Amino acid sequence: MIQKEWMTVTNQRNIANRIYELTVRGGMVASMEPGQFVHIRTGDSFEPLLRRPISIAAINPEKSEFTMLYRVEGRGTEVLAAKRAGDKIDVLGPLGNGFPIGEAKQKAVLIGGGIGVPPLYELACQLNARGVETVHVLGFETAEAVFYEKEFSVLGETHITTVDGTHGIKGFVTHVMNELPTDFDVYYSCGPSPMLKAVEELYVDKKGFLSYEQRMGCGIGACFACVCKTNDERDYVKVCSDGPVFPAKVVVAG
Amino acid sequence: MNRLKVTLPGLELSNPIMPASGCFGFGKEFAGLYDLSQLGAIMIKATTREMRFGNPTPRVAETAAGMLNAIGLQNPGLDKVMTQELPYLEQFDVPIIANVAGTTTEDYAEVARAISTAPNVKALEINISCPNVKEGGITFGTNPKIAQALTEAVKAVSAVPVYIKLSPNVTDITEIAKAVEAGGADGLTMINTLLGMRLDAQTGKPVLANRTGGLSGPSIKPVALRMVYDVRKQTDLPIIGMGGVSTLDDVIDFLSVGADAVAVGTANFVNPFICPELIEELPGKLDELGIKTVQELTGRSHQYELANHRA
């Protein structure tokens, strides 16, 4: 059930270049799943006007808290980055359909790119809790943009790539994926469209689930801003309400 | 007595507030959030004869106190709207205003004829003002003669009253209003979005894939108010006013310049509960203003015409 709730900020910190970790508390947390997102009204004026979709990175039902990792890109995220413990924020959620965690039995590969990495963290936590081995391949632009390397390493084999080679392996996630054994049941991926396309092509015979990003208006399926063409019988899908996670080979990446 | 009640051609509204077309899909998404029967009416998304995919993405961009969109009239087409979307909405006790779009007069007439027979469609809103499609849309709404002819064609086949949605992207909106009145329009809805652009400052590249889009949100309210005000002086046709309605004061303002009812657009994206919240708060606002019914508000700004002061 989608709710609109004033949630309380419990912690905010800058963890990498322009990357912030924001934890908030509220009742909505009880119904969250990995891969879903929230839509946040960052201020209370008409500037910025629209909500900002932000993925759910970690869920803590015991404390009724969840954590978001976001990159400051413009006015909305700038305003959000100024929030401090005790502040209230207007959150709409949980939105969309998350990763089907039951598809993984023994071993899963999780591939993330940049700000597509966060939703994979809660997924990795939940898969580990179910006894599924997780291998993580995480790509970033540069060393300063890398985050959550330690957090992922605790959960399983973790490979970091940077485009400029300043940390981890130089290149894209596909450089690592080419070398990895393919003895896994399923892969999950989130990141920019070209990366998702490359992942889909490399693991063409494997079962996979991809989380897409698309500019959104309403976040609930009413405005038709975030539609994508598909390879199945549907004329189109909406990333916000039909996704953001889709089985591989369904969405024609834009 | 229901002090919020408004009666318009084809429409018995329990209150004057409704979601605007294009900002509410076909209602299903919002039905998961609240009981749609609370709404005065629902203006559903534009329907065309064939299914339309719409424009390439990105289709929305934020601007100062507003947003640009270039959705491009994406919809599942007349048949699916008739067999799937409208029957779903029958479970709610709320009149539906069906927004009709097309690329030719024949398109408009065919969609209007068919969709006006749906049991819950109580009025049509003819979209001659969409700025985001290459053919049809705004081309019908910027020339008085063409607008009048299209109104006549739709009126001839519609089983329910016809409201024409006016574009602000014209030199004189009152000319178009008078033309569609001459064509037999039962009412007006106004305004549609203002054609605009946003660029990436680094590269100079337009942010929208379509390059241009329709501006909506609080930033367009002063333009919309002025246009409703001007049109109200020229015609007695009922007007459903819209353009940046986000607060209760905005509702009052639109009624004051002469609107009979008010539609909420972009604000539904900012706060999906905005319509029921405004409806709930409206009686308190009437009390605050010392006003008994919403009809008393309609057109009250016109008493301050300069000519009256001179007299």
Domains and CATH numbers, chain B: 6-54+73-198+216-301 (3.20.20.70)
Separation of first and last alpha carbons in chain A: 29
Q: What residue in A sits closest to B218 (Cα-Cα)? A: A46
ipTM computed for the complex: 0.92
Q: What is the pLDDT of residue B247?
A: 97
Q: Which of B130, B138, B147, B282 is catalytic?
A: B130
pTM above threshold 0.90:
yes
Q: Which parts of chain B have pLDDT scores under 50? A: 311
Determine the distance in angstroms separating the CA of B264 from the nearest CA of chain A, rounded to an integer. 13
Would you kindly state where each structural domain of chain A is located, as residue ranges? 3-95, 101-247
Distance of CA A254 to the CA centre of its chain: 18
Q: Which residue ranges of A are tagged as binding site for [2Fe-2S] cluster?
A: 218, 223, 226, 240
3-state secondary structure B70-109: CCCCCECCHHHHHHHHHHHHCCCCCCEEEEECCCCHHHHH
Decide if B57 and A227 are in contact by the 8 Å CB cutoff: yes
Decide if A222 and B64 are in contact by the 8 Å CB cutoff: no
Cβ of residue B62 closer than 8 Å to a chain A Cβ = yes
Cβ of residue B307 closer than 8 Å to a chain A Cβ = no
- Whole-angstrom CA distances from B32 to A5, B144, B166, B272 are 16, 41, 31, 11
Q: What is the pLDDT of residue B154?
A: 97
Decide if A224 and B71 are in contact by the 8 Å CB cutoff: yes
Q: What is the torsion angle, in degrees rounded to the nearest 10, for the CA atoms of residue A103, residue A108, residue A113 and residue A118?
A: 70
Q: What residue in A sits closest to B71 (Cα-Cα)? A: A225
For residue B303, the SS3 value is helix
Ligand-binding annotation for B243, yes or no, is yes
CATH classification code of A101-247 = 3.40.50.80
Decide if B57 and A50 are in contact by the 8 Å CB cutoff: no
Contacts of B145 (CB under 8 A, 6+ apart): B179
Cβ of residue A217 closer than 8 Å to a chain B Cβ = yes
Candidates B65, B69, B219; nearest CB to A225: B69
Q: What is the pLDDT of residue B40?
A: 98
Ligand-binding annotation for B21, yes or no, is yes
Q: What is the pLDDT of residue B209?
A: 95
Cβ of residue B22 closer than 8 Å to a chain A Cβ = yes
CATH superfamily for domain A3-95 = Translation factors (2.40.30.10)
From chain B, the residues in CB contact with A221 under 8 A are: 25, 28-29
Mutation site, A44, A78, A220, interface B, largest B CB count within 10 A: A220
* CB pairs A-B closer than 8 Å: 104
From chain B, the residues in CB contact with A1 under 8 A are: 32
| CB-based contact B74:B52 (threshold 8 Å) | yes
Q: What is the pLDDT of residue A233?
A: 86
Q: What residue in B sits closest to A44 (Cα-Cα)? A: B270
Q: What is the pLDDT of residue A254?
A: 59
Q: Which parts of chain A have pLDDT scores under 50? A: none
- Give the burial string for A135-170 (b: 16+ CB within 10 Å, else e): bbbbbbeeeebbbbbebbeebbebbbbbeeeebbbe
